[in-house]
Structure formats: structure tokens, C-alpha cells
Chains A and B, each alone.
Chain A
């Protein structure tokens, strides 16, 4: 309904740029259809299998869910604590390393040296195959690891808040933002100190990993695990915010801090809940990201932060539903753009779409709909 209004003749007259964007979008759609049909019309068309497009969409959906999950916490700290948290990406890394350390211990304690497992293969000489972490062979370890990633990152976030952000609470968003850049560096290099700097493999390969191939799109066990876990966590978050007293108080505080104060809502308890939930989800998303990629590196969360920010801003900063929607858009553009351009540029395509959306809808997709 919104898009129809957006493309009405009046709207097009008012925003000529919109017409250009719509024309390009239409062109890409025609091109896509031509490619799928195997037609070559001048510069348009070519060939593209349904399986490849489907696979792009499915991969985009999965990575979009992970980015969206990470974005929820970023959006919440923005709306409730009023600052853009640049250490959020390193909370993503924190969850990944601590969660996988626990998952490895559960998967292979006894058969492999504990030091190698806890440090996620930094110490000792143990291969991912020897640990054998995979959702099909060690489902319990994968689930326990996810819970640990959530819990440990929640505790770390809360501790960081008490140590760094709480004393700065009344200094305003810019001071907190700069503090968070410092916190990001501290966390990132503590992770490097504890877990080492090299990129390494995490998950084992297992026969029968591809569960199904609808329309030629391979759906792996890990992709399915990620989709189920991410959607489950999002639904749980939705219910927490909409149906519990504390969640309603969080939305109230995001809406109007002064009013929340004089209504007797205990600000510090809401702040603590924000860090526990937002930090926990960041940690969980980092753990799931590694499950998707199969590898880990101490600064991957920092690299991912730009995409997470893009998702949150695209969706309308402050809204968790915007963060989810933005994550999906970024993820889908990230993967489907490879139909037209080299995968070296797919991040650029994601940012281009973000900029276009913001030009047409400066408040973001869900902007102005304050939902914490």
C-alpha cells in the first residue's frame, strides 16, 4: 500500500529522483526476468538459472536474519540510551568466541585438550574435524554454545556498561559514542590477546549436510539452524517488548525518558535489561554468523558493524522491527547484487540501496514508528 502511494503520479512529479530509481528498478526486474527466461535482448538478459537466483535469495535471507538479529541490540541502545554504540560489533565477536569455546568444550571435552577447545583452537594443534562441531553430529553442543554466547555477552555488556557508560550517562550521545569507540578497541584487542589473531576454521564437515534442494537451491543444516534460531530469538524479543511489564517500560523509556522518570519507571533497571537483551542478541548473532561462515577471526564483528549500522539506519534507527527489516534488505541486496556485479562490490550495493531508501524515506522504513 505504502509503495503504491510512493509511486503515485503526484509523488513522482514531486520527486523526479524517484522516477529514475523506479525506472532503474524496473529495468533490473525486466533484465532479471529475461535472464531467467534465457533471452538476450540487446544489453539486457543473458542466462541465469532459477537455482542460482533462488540460492542467492536463500543465502541473503539467512545472512539478513543474522544481521537483523545483531541490529536489534544496536537499535535498542540507540533508542533507550541515546547513543550509537560502536563497540556493538565487538560484542558480536565476544559472543562468537566465548560461545564457540563453550560449544567446543561440550562437543569434545575428554577427547581433545581443554586449552585448545576453550581458546577456540588458538592453543594446541587440534583440527575442526577432530572436534567435530556440527549441528548434525553434536546438536547439543551447538545449542549450548548459542545459549552461552547469549549469556556471556549479556554479562560482558552489563559489566562494560557499569564500568564505562554508567559514569558517562548524563554526558550526551557524542561523549558516549566516542567512549564506545574506545571500548570497541579494548574489547577487540582483549579478544585478540585471549584468542589470537589468525583466521581459522570452526565447524566440521559432515556427510548429508545438505538437507534438501528445492528448485535446485541447497539448504544446509547450518543455514536452517541459523534461520530457526534467529527467527525464534526475534519472536521472543517481540513478546518480551510487547507483552511483559519490563518490555513495555523499555518501550516507554525509548519513547520519552523524562516522562518514564516521573512515572516511577526505574531507569537503571531498564538500562540493565537493555544491555542484557541487546548484548545477548549481539552475542548470539556473532555465534550464528560463525556457524554460517564456518570460520572465525578476532575482528570479524568490527567488519560486520558497518553492515549492521546500514541495516539499522535503513530500517529506521530506534525500531527493532526496522532493524530486522533492514537486515533482511541488506542481506538480500548483498547476495542478489552478484547477479549483475562482481561479489567484490556487493557490500557497495548494499550501501547504495541504503542511501536510496534514505533519500526517499529519510526516517527509514520503520522510522517514526517508535517501538523500542
Chain B
């Protein structure tokens, strides 16, 4: 850690850094578990991300917020090798992973819950969870039980096809599937999208608990206020570039950020 006031895990007084709206350079952490530097990426010839820097420390809860089309989801997809990589570095636990094909990223200890189509609709709930542990020789029964303990409704519905579940339950299946490997880092793309309003808080509570159990979270959220309130640190991404980075509470308190991105 560099000891900067806005650095990861320091107890900087939010009031001190309020209004500082630090550029990412001030918060970069060479020790971070996930370490993205100068990332350019997009789809085919279309470049979406320009010179993006982003860190997630071990056990940290980081959110990316920003307007539509800012490239928030593209960051996650690029970590998983699902976009066209152009330049920059992505390191995980000190190992370069920008050239790792998508089906091997999961071996690194990273799980990914896409925003849509994140379950296998024709497979039962239990089969969905078992597929989460495909890369293991056998299904770890203790983790399956742990997922069922975390999401008890899934135990009741274990034999139902995932395609017949409600949006919230599908989201649980999708998260449960990634938890089968007990990942060090979980990437969540808009976990509250499409959920009934009364389920949104519940979903954020579940994410808090996953984070409290030691899994680092990198989350993209439309519901920016709630996401920033709960996370350790936030990134504001605009037009595919870093705009602000700071502690979530600090960004929430920042007049400029509030006016530009949080609707006042």
C-alpha cells in the first residue's frame, strides 16, 4: 500500500477527501489481487475502454458506477476474456491473465455472474450448481450444502428447471453456481437488474454476506447510490475512462459526483 489518503483499507476521514475526486493514480495499489492497468478493450474494431486502471484488493468490495454505455460491463467481460483485448495489463494474484481464454479464467479463482442469461434454463437448479463445479473431479457436497444454506429456497427447488424460477431465484442460482468453487473474487454484473423493488435490498444484503465471508466483490450497478453506500470503494467510469475513484461513502458525498451521476 502506498499510504495515500484514499488508499484501499485506510481509515481516511471521508470529510478529508470529500471533493478530492481522486484520479485512479492516487489509489492504485500494487498489492491488489486484481490489478488492471492502462486497459484498452472493446468489441471487434469498436473500442469501448480507454486506459482503464482498476484494483480490487483481497476481500475488498468494489463497485463500478457510471452512465449507460460507459463500459462498466465491458471491464468485467474483458477480465473474463469475452471482449476484444487491445492493450494494457490485467493481473490476478500477480499473474497476467489478459491472454487467458474465458473457459480457463475460472481456474484462477474468479467467478462471474453476467447480467442476463446467467443460468442454464433447461437444467435443474441442482444441475446448474453442479456445473459450477465442473472443473473439479467431483461435486463438493459441503459447498453445495453451503450454497443451499445461503439460499434455502434453492434447496426446496433443487429439482425444478432453472428456467421456471423467478428473476430473484435465478440470480441466486447464478451466484450459487459461482460460489461452488469458493472464488477469491466474484464479478457481479448488475445483480439488482430486473428484480422487484422489494427484492433489491435483499439481494444487496446477500452480496454483503458473501463479501463478509471473505470473497472480494467487483460489482457493476445501475443502482449507484445503494451500491456506493455498501461498497468499500467505487469507480466512476465515463465514456470508457476512469473519472473518479474513492471510498464509496466519499463518492456519495461528493457534490460533483452527485450532480453528474447520481441525479443530485
Residues of A whose CB lies within 8 Å of any CB of B are 245, 248-249, 251-252, 254-256, 258-267, 369-372
Closest residue to A318 on the B side, CB-wise? B122
Q: A249-B131, A259-B117 known; A266 and B122 CB under 8 Å?
A: no
Other A-B pairs, 5, CB within 8 Å; known A255-B120, A264-B104: A248-B127, A254-B122, A259-B118, A263-B134, A372-B122
Question: Can you pick out 11 interface pairs between chain A and chain B where the beta carbons lie within 8 Å of each other?
Answer: A248-B127, A252-B123, A254-B122, A255-B121, A258-B114, A259-B117, A263-B134, A264-B103, A264-B134, A370-B121, A370-B122
Residues of A within 8 A of B120 (CB): 251-252, 255-256, 259-260
Q: A264-B107, A371-B122 known; A258 and B117 CB under 8 Å?
A: yes
Residues of B whose CB lies within 8 Å of any CB of A are 80, 82, 102-107, 112, 114, 117-123, 127, 130-132, 134-135, 163, 177
How far is A260 from B80 in the complex, measured between Cα atoms in Å? 13
How far is A246 from B132 in the complex, measured between Cα atoms in Å? 13
Q: A262-B80, A262-B112 known; A267 and B123 CB under 8 Å?
A: no
Closest residue to A369 on the B side, CB-wise? B122
Residues of B within 8 A of A259 (CB): 114, 117-120
A263 and B106 contacting across the interface, CB-CB below 8 Å = yes
How far is A15 from B131 in the complex, measured between Cα atoms in Å? 42
How far is A256 from B119 in the complex, measured between Cα atoms in Å? 8
Q: Among B114, B118, B119, B134, which residue has its beta carbon within 8 angstroms of that of A245?
A: B134
* Nearest Cβ on chain B to A313's Cβ, whole angstroms: 19
Which residue, of A255, A260, A371, has the highest number of chain B Cβ atoms within 10 A?
A255
* Nearest Cβ on chain A to B159's Cβ, whole angstroms: 12
B122 and A255 contacting across the interface, CB-CB below 8 Å = yes
Residues of A within 8 A of B117 (CB): 256, 258-259
How far is A62 from B103 in the complex, measured between Cα atoms in Å? 43
* Nearest Cβ on chain B to A92's Cβ, whole angstroms: 27
Residues of B within 8 A of A254 (CB): 122
Closest residue to A263 on the B side, CB-wise? B131
B122 and A262 contacting across the interface, CB-CB below 8 Å = no
How far is A370 from B120 in the complex, measured between Cα atoms in Å? 10
How far is A249 from B127 in the complex, measured between Cα atoms in Å? 9
B122 and A258 contacting across the interface, CB-CB below 8 Å = no
Residues of A within 8 A of B104 (CB): 264
A248 and B123 contacting across the interface, CB-CB below 8 Å = yes
Q: A248-B127, A258-B117, A259-B117 known; A265 and B122 CB under 8 Å?
A: no
Residues of B within 8 A of A267 (CB): 103
How far is A244 from B103 in the complex, measured between Cα atoms in Å? 20
Closest residue to B107 on the A side, CB-wise? A264
B123 and A265 contacting across the interface, CB-CB below 8 Å = no
How far is A252 from B126 in the complex, measured between Cα atoms in Å? 13
